Amino acid sequence: MYDIALDNAIINLLNSDNKVNRKKLKSEVESSIQRKLSPSTFQSHLNILVNHKILNRRDEGRGKEV
């Protein structure tokens, strides 16, 4: 079952902080929804949001904020 609350948490956190690295975003989302996420679940939700053009990705390279 798809968890739309996870998408909403990602969107809300990115609206409040324009640039954030993936690790920090995952940690803040987990705090927001009060549970741990597998890396694959987190990444699949990010990919869906980007593919549906809900989020734009601006990646400046490894170790940089996105």
Tens place of pLDDT per residue across the chain (66 aa):
899 999 999 999 998 866 788 899 999 999 999 999 999 999 999 999 999 999 987 766 666 655
Other CB atoms closer than 10 Å to residue 51's CB: what's the count? 9
The pLDDT score that the predictor gives to residue 63 is 64
CB–CB of 29/6 below 8 Å? Answer: yes
The pLDDT score that the predictor gives to residue 57 is 77
**Is 61 inside a domain boundary?**
no
**Is 62 inside a domain boundary?**
no
The pLDDT score that the predictor gives to residue 21 is 84
**Is 56 inside a domain boundary?**
no
pTM for the complete prediction? 0.81
Count of structural domains, the chain: 1
**Is 12 inside a domain boundary?**
yes
The pLDDT score that the predictor gives to residue 66 is 54
